[in-house]
Amino acid sequence: MSAELLFFLSIFSIAAGGVLSLAVKPVMKAAVNVFFSAAAFLFFLYPLYKIFAMNGSVRASLTPNTLFGTVPIVIDPLSAFFVFIILLFTLLGSIYSAGYMGIYRNGGRSKMISGYYFFSSILALSMILVVTLQNIIAFSLAWELMSLSSFFLVIFDYEDAKNTRAGIYYLVSMHLCLAVIISGFYSFQAKPGILPSFPSRNILIIIKQ
């Protein structure tokens, strides 16, 4: 298998773990999440080896529609490091959560477990996309997905008003950060004294070059 295919299998495994955790019984949710998190981590080992040991990179592209144009996916040593950390701590978090999520299996709170594992998987997936996508619109959507999934994790125990309030503060701050990042993208592409105009196709932000 190619490194590109293994990378896509890795992110697909994360998504599959989150979706399947909604369908299985509460006692099986942790095991399903651990299995797919481990699969995602193992799938990424060869792309990681190719990037660091063989001094290469993993490149792919998507063309979903005319709004996005071509969406390049580039994994160089820096982004590979972050993807490795994300997958490692996703796996460790899923293993650790098997214990402390057990208290939510009783008392009609099993839906909270489903939400936790689903949004944890979406958070991991979106973080990987944030560090690998090189299209500003796709990056912004990935950031939004990351913000929303982490927001729902922050307010996981929504019965406590403090958690809900903290989640709202967090969501507002994440959108402010996105505005600052997009402003930075503009400044990187703009010539002195000239505001850039971003076309609807081939919107590439490649800062690493």
Confidence of residue 209 (pLDDT cuts 50, 70, 90): very low
| 205: pLDDT strictly greater than 50 | no
Confidence of residue 84 (pLDDT cuts 50, 70, 90): very high
Mean pLDDT, rounded, of the chain? 81
| 142: pLDDT strictly greater than 50 | yes
Cα distance between residue 209 and residue 205, in whole Å: 10
Residue-level pLDDT at 202? 38
Cα distance between residue 16 and residue 33, in whole Å: 9
Confidence of residue 102 (pLDDT cuts 50, 70, 90): confident
Query: How many C-alpha atoms does 187 have within 13 Å on its Cβ side?
Result: 6
Task: Check if the beta carbon of residue 53 is closer than 8 Å to that of residue 81.
Answer: no
Residue-level pLDDT at 208? 37
- Kindly state the average pLDDT of the residues 22-47: 90
Residue-level pLDDT at 201? 37
| 204: pLDDT strictly greater than 50 | no
Confidence of residue 13 (pLDDT cuts 50, 70, 90): very high
Residue-level pLDDT at 174? 83
Residue-level pLDDT at 58? 85
Residue-level pLDDT at 89? 94
More confident site: 121 or 54? 121
Going from the C-alpha of 76 to that of each of 40, 93, 97, 165, 172, the distances in angstroms are: 18, 25, 31, 38, 31
Residue-level pLDDT at 68? 62
- Kindly state the average pLDDT of the residues 92-115: 78
Residue-level pLDDT at 189? 62
Top mean pLDDT of 60-69, 89-98, 135-144 is at: 89-98
The residues, ordered by sequence, that sit 6+ positions from 24 with a Cβ below 8 Å of its Cβ are: 32
